[in-house]
Chains A and B, each alone.
Chain A
Amino acid sequence: MADRVVEQAATAPATTAPVERVELLVVGAGPAGIAAATAAAGAGRQVLVIDDNPAPGGQIWRGGGPAAAERAVARLAASGAVVAPGTAVVDVGPARRLFVRGPTGMRWLEPRSIIVATGARERFVPFPGWTLPGVVGAGGLQALVKQGCDIAGRRVLVAGSGPLLLAVGALVAERGGRLVAIAEQADIRRLARFALGLMATPGKLVQALGLGRAVGSRLLPGSFPTAVRATGGGLVVSVSSGPAGSEKTGDLPCDILACGFGLVPNTEVARALGCRIGAAGVWVDEDQRTSVAGVFAVGECTGVGGVEKSLVEGRLAGLRAAGLAGGDATLRAQVRRARAFAAQLEKTFTLDPRLARLADDDTIVCRCEDVVAGRLRGFTDWREAKLLTRVGMGPCQGRVCGTCTGVVFGWAPDDVRPPLVPVPVAGLTTVPGS
């Protein structure tokens, strides 16, 4: 019952939490949040940046990264913006008030405006065995290796979809892992068209080729894992290759399966604030304004498009939140190009419909509550399934299984409900102090 702390909240005594007024609150310290905070603080605004992680940089710049990342983090530090790491949004009150949990406890933030830069997470597709230890996300492996997980000498199979897989393959080689293969579900024709499209953005072409040389020979297009099982000596992954109807299946042994099917925007905080969600992510206008007054959204949470998109959107929103209208033509053109690239990504790496059928009746879909696919078939939507099976009611609050049920059953996510992250009982019953 340890997972169900929140249910005991009603019996705990109420306490007060401090309230802190801020001019501009940036939620998320990845590239988009960093660019936004730096631009707004540079324009003289009082800026607070909060992030779950122990240090700024987000997922892509975790633990340093390229020189550009270090420069951006240094500029943020010099800008006057205050960064609060290890701090997560728990709830949203009226008038854009946010309840947050940090290393020193809970507090309310009262920002005059907010820039939501909550990034993206991986899309997982359930298949038999995907809950075994050693099966991790592709971006998951990248994050885990950068935080110190040792893969030297380990056989790593990278699988899923998207440009991230190549970066993960390169990282495996760099850290002394043995790259078994990169199984990319998109077929060779889509990949070729995508590569041609990159000619329009030379920076991205160089990036793609640089990674491609190290790992290109291991790339298996049109391939995806169908099942994984644990053996005495590691994992064995069944991989399907080729078009529907003429696929071939083979077993690939490995120690670690790093598998992620692209990224999905983190929209929970924006939804809790009441922001409208569009097809790609949080809806924004050409100045990064959301549908809620005083709330902007930038980067991957508005549509997955990579670090360049995050940087230009962040800068634009930072300037706008500071009340500045400068840099319009160039910045807006950059944002338009970045959004076009995002659309191209989406098209190239559209999921193969066969992936939705990999889970058998015994495959766990909700990892928090161990709810299997067989128990979910027959429900018509997420809300109904949630009430009757507890799917999505564990600590991750449906962040993982919500995308899984989207892929497998086509269900749309439910409304966001507090707490957005689990909190200790005492924390939940606090009210704002004066």
Chain B
Amino acid sequence: MNPRSTNDAGTVTLLVDGVPVRAPAGQSVAAALVNRPGAGAWQIRRSVGDAPRGPLCGMGICFECRATVDGRAHERTCLVTVRDGMEVRTDG
């Protein structure tokens, strides 16, 4: 699925756990995740002990914002720039 045709210039659409999320081009995936409506508390994933977690360091150190991006596990989403059609899984 490629939702490119629905986008204005400068905006991309990624699929987060199967749900389309629009984000300005150039943003990090972490930003797109915390800016989702409803992600009020900046939660991105759950820890090994099943506690809610969000980004901490913003600079690739802590791995708290990690997700599976286009099939690549453990990507630090603060270091990855959004791309149109990108698939992100936060449950991996």
Contact = CB atoms under 8 A, between A and B. Distances in A.
Interface residues of B, number: 41
A134 B54 contact: yes
Contacts of B53: 131, 133, 367
B42 A256 contact: yes
Contact of B81 (A54, A124, A149, A396): A54
Given A368-B48, A395-B74, A137 B58 contact: yes
B30 A147 contact: yes
Interface stretch (A15-23, A138-146, A182-190, A300-308): A138-146
Contacts of B28: 54, 144, 147-148
A38 to B, nearest CB: 22
Interface residues of A, number: 45
Given A54-B80, A133-B44, A422-B74, A147 B60 contact: no
B36 to A, nearest CB: 10
A148 B26 contact: yes
Interface in A305-323: none
A53 B76 CA distance: 10
Interface string A343-387: 000000000000000000000100111100000000000000000
Interface of A: 2-3, 5, 52-54, 59, 86, 121-122, 124, 131-137, 139-144, 147-150, 230, 234, 255-256, 266, 364, 367-370, 394-396, 399-400, 422, 424
Given A2-B92, A54-B81, 6 more contacts: A54-B28, A131-B51, A132-B52, A150-B34, A234-B40, A399-B62
10 contacts: A5-B73, A53-B59, A54-B28, A54-B79, A133-B41, A135-B54, A148-B23, A370-B48, A395-B63, A396-B61
